[in-house]
Structure 1
């Protein structure tokens, strides 16, 4: 397992602006920090729930269709390339729609966030399941990824407008750097490097 590529993927997907992160930025800017953290905890709980569901679904699929992990690796690498493209042209300067700052609104937001759905359905089968099969290890990875996501969400809450201003000031170089790192992760997940080495 390429731990560096795994961590890069998790950090970039959870730290880059998406619907949930932008909502947290807006909430932290417009409300008190404790309101923002109610939303953060709800979002993190939902991500952990979706990751656990991904482990169960992908474990069942791996038994029924043994080649499904290869398909998910390909889907995961294609998604990372798409995400790299999106990140390279990302603009965080637009206005943000105000969200209600509750645990439940943060929890429900993740279930309508396509970025979260694709991430949770690709990260486990692409990075973890080719190397680890035991439920114990899979749950450790669910907790690790959820912790990374919680750190990302908390960062958006803590920095509020400061983080937004930084991204706006250095937006292009930050976006290009993140896109390059995502392309690296996509190459690692695709298995191309292993095929070339043979």
Structure 2
């Protein structure tokens, strides 16, 4: 397992702007940090739950159809290339729509966030399952990825204004670097270099 590629994918997928991160940025600007943290705890709880369900689902699929892992690696690679394209062409929106800064709204946001669905369904089979199969190992990776996600949410809440200004000033260069890192991750997951 390429730990560098795994961490690169996790950090890029969780730290780049997406619906949840932009909502947290907006909430952190409009309300007190206490409310932003309630929202983040809800988003983190749902993120961890979706990762756990993904790990369980993919483990069942691999047991039933052993060759499915190759298909999931290909799907994961294609998704990462798509994400690289999206990152390379994205524009940082102004402010996200104002949302209630509650645990429930943060939790529910993850279920309508396609970025989270695609990430949770590709990270476990693409990076973890080719090398680790035990429930303990999968659980550990779910916890590690959830912590990375929470750190991304905290970053957007605490330093959101700094990142927003930086991304607006250096948007093109930042997007290109992030897109190239995602292409690297896609190549690693595809198994083409093995």
Structure 2, unaligned stretches of length 5 or more? none
- Give 1:147's aligned residue: 147
Matched residue SS, 2:42: helix
Query: For residues 64 and 178 of structure 2, what CA distance do their matches in structure 1 show?
Result: 36
- Deviation sequence 1:100-145 (CA, Å, 0-9, x none): 1001100110011011001001100000001000000100000000
Asked if the contact 1:50–1:117 (Cα under 8 Å) also holds between the matched residues in 2, the reply is: yes
* TM-score w.r.t. length of structure 1: 0.96
Offset of residue 96 of structure 1: 1.8
> What are the ranges of 5 or more consecutive residues in structure 1 without an aligned counterpart?
none
Measure the CA separation in 1 of the matches of 2:171 and 2:163.
11
Task: Supply the distance in 2 between the matched residues of 1:95 and 1:14 (Cα, whole angstroms).
Answer: 19
CA deviations over 1:63-118 (Å, ceiling 9, x no partner): 11111111110000000000000000111143421111001100110011011001
For 1:42 and 1:31, the matched residues in 2 are separated by: 16
Give the corresponding residue for 2:51.
51
Indicate whether 1:167 and 2:167 are aligned.
yes
Structure 2 residue aligned with 1:89: 89
Say if 1:51 and 1:120, in contact at 8 Å, map to a contact too.
Answer: yes
Find the counterpart in structure 2 of residue 186 from structure 1: 186
Distance (whole Å) between structure 1 residues aligned to residue 23 and residue 67 of structure 2: 38
Q: Is the contact made by 2:22 and 2:95 (CA closer than 8 Å) also made in structure 1?
A: no
Deviations 1:144-178 (A, max 9, x none): 00000000000000013222111111111110000
CA contact (8 A) 1:43 1:108 kept: yes
TM-score under structure 2 length normalisation:
0.98
Is the partner of 1:193 in helix, strand or coil?
coil
Equivalent in the alignment of 2:17? 17
- Aligned counterparts of 2:35 and 2:95: Cα–Cα separation in 1: 20
Alpha carbons 1:39, 1:104 under 8 Å: kept: yes
Q: Provide the C-alpha distance between the structure 1 equivalents of 2:7 and 2:46, rounded to a whole number of angstroms.
A: 20
Counterpart of 1:103 in structure 2 is 103
Counterpart in the other structure of 1:8 = 8
Aligned residue for 2:96, secondary structure, equals: coil
Counting matched residue pairs gives 194
